[in-house]
């Protein structure tokens, strides 16, 4: 299930970039992308450990099974 509070917090962080200068906002976006990537990797590992198939994970992420397996298959 989606943690609505976590999603709302991320949206608030993104919205707060409106008042930043371009360089500061780009830095913030890069940091958010890194955090999202770390979270995604952790969730994919947890999903695999709980028995979810690559196909099911791909469906959740909105990508192909091949793409998710290529990105996370050897971790």
C-alpha to C-alpha distance for 66 and 6, rounded to whole angstroms: 28
The pLDDT tens digits of the residues spanning 18-63 come to 888 999 989 988 988 998 899 999 999 999 999 999 999 999 999 9
Q: Domain locations in the chain?
A: 20-72
The pLDDT tens digits of the residues spanning 16-26 come to 888 889 999 89
Prediction pTM value: 0.78
Token couple for 26: 């780009």
Residues in the chain: 75
Q: Phi and psi at residue 73, in whole multiples of 5°?
A: -60, -30
Say what angle helices 54-61 and 65-72 make with each other, to 10 degrees.
100
């Amino acid at each position: 299930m989606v943690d609505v509070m976590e999603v709302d917090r991320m949206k608030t962080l993104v919205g707060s970039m409106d008042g930043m200068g371009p360089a500061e906002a780009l830095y913030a976006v890069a940091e958010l992308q890194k955090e999202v990537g770390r979270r995604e990797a952790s969730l994919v590992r947890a999903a695999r450990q709980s028995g979810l198939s690559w196909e099911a994970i791909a469906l959740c992420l909105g990508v192909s099974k091949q793409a998710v397996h290529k990105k996370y298959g050897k971790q």
